Amino acid sequence: MNLGIDLGNTLAKFYLFDGEKIILQRKVNYSSFESSTDALISENSDISAIIYADVKGMASRILEKYSNDIKVIPVNSSMHLPFTNLYKRGSTLGNDRIVLVAAASKSYPKSNVLVIDMGTCITYDFIDKQNVYQGGAISPGFVMRYKALNHFTANLPIVEYKTPENPQSKNTHGCIQSGVYFAILDEIKARIEYYKKNYESLTVILTGGDANKLPKTLKNSIFANSNFIADGLLHLLKLNIDS
């Protein structure tokens, strides 16, 4: 068995693989990452390799203690990648984005693919049908926008997510919820439209924890895949297990 770990900006996610199959998924807060890792490895003594993508930079110290018995593979731009990377400073491309592009390369070969990851940030990553990663974009996600409106103003409150019925509201909480929601929705629609105009036969993948906040009318026209990052971790592991 193999273990994939995705350490994002908010949560740590574990994926235990038996061959191609995910047999266990687990999400934990960062405060319990080390204890959860220890417990998972203790419960599954036949783990032969661990691959991890870490945007926080905290995993290497914790996983180092297992490196004598288990192959530990950090995701980075210098590993063997299944695509050509045109990012001008390849080392600055986020590990999570590398994993998503690797998944796109494997799952949709010879296709123009836009991957939209709805997390703490919203990332857009595009790989063309020649298997060349052309870059993308990063923008704030739902919670980050809520916090920014509160932090940079004198009177706007922090609000909880709620799907607005329309772009107009008659109270401050509703205006914030509406403003953030429809700004994100319009942004995503415009980004998809841009790539459709510039690249034929576009495939759009939607993933990430906040993907379920988008309306079904949008998701019906694209592919939602909650385990896309797990697919990318496993693909990268197989490509780098012997290096």
- Looking at the annotation, which residues are catalytic? 96
Pick from 239, 227, 243, 241: which is nearest to 16 by CA? 227
What is the torsional sign of CA 143, 146, 148, 150?
A: negative
Q: At residue 241, what are phi and psi to the nearest 5 degrees?
A: -65, -30
CA distances to 59, 73, 123, 164, 186 from 161, rounded to whole Å, are 30, 36, 20, 9, 17
On whether the CB atoms of residues 111 and 201 are closer than 8 A, the answer is yes
SS3 state of residue 48: coil
Helices (H), 58-171: 59-63, 95-107, 142-151
Checking DSSP bridges between strand 132-140 and strand 202-207, what pairing results, if any?
Answer: unpaired
- Contact status, residue 110 vs residue 243, Cβ threshold 8 Å: no
